[in-house]
């Protein structure tokens, strides 16, 4: 049985956020917030304190040109115990290794399989 958790979704694609939300909610998890860029991700993490962040690596750049890696670093600076799972269509081993070295707790490749996504949440 899975532990139900509060999750912050960070992806620049509204379609993917909606898809993730559907999968997570159908499994009983709570989506407590959404962000479309790195700055929103950090702000929402600091105010919502989710148990897990699903964070896209490649986010459309804003004026500050921050990426998912920047958000990962900023959230972990704020809370070194944060559980962040990276998501990306870039299923490249070097990028996965880099996110893990920075402190990510897992990685989900897009397009994701709902079962694998849910398994990754409880790792």
For residues 19 and 38, give the distance between their C-alpha atoms in angstroms, rounded to a whole number: 20
Whether residue 15 lies inside any domain: the answer is: yes
Whether residue 1 lies inside any domain: the answer is: no
Residues contacting residue 106 through CB under 8 Å, at least 6 positions apart: 85, 86, 120, 123
Q: Residue 91's pLDDT is what? A: 65
CATH number at residue 73: 3.40.50.2300
Q: Which domain holds residue 29?
A: 6-121
pLDDT higher than 70, residue 27: yes
**Predicted confidence (pLDDT) per residue in 59-94, tens digit:** 776 656 678 889 999 999 999 999 999 988 766 778
Q: Residue 101's pLDDT is what? A: 94
Q: What is the tally of structural domains in the chain?
A: 1
Whether residue 18 lies inside any domain: the answer is: yes
Whether residue 76 lies inside any domain: the answer is: yes
Predicted structure pTM score: 0.89
Whether residue 64 lies inside any domain: the answer is: yes
Whether residue 41 lies inside any domain: the answer is: yes
């Amino acid at each position: 049985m899975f532990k139900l958790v509060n999750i912050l979704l960070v992806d620049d694609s509204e379609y993917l956020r909606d898809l993730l939300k559907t999968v997570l909610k159908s499994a009983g998890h709570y989506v407590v917030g959404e962000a479309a860029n790195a700055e929103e991700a950090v702000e929402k993490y600091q105010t919502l304190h989710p148990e897990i962040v699903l964070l896209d690596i490649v986010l459309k750049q804003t004026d500050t040109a921050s990426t998912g890696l920047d958000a990962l670093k900023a959230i972990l600076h704020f809370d070194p115990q944060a559980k962040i799972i990276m998501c990306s269509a870039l299923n490249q081993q070097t990028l996965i290794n880099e996110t893990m070295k920075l402190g990510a707790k897992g990685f989900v490749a897009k397009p994701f399989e709902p079962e694998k996504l849910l398994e990754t949440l409880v790792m």
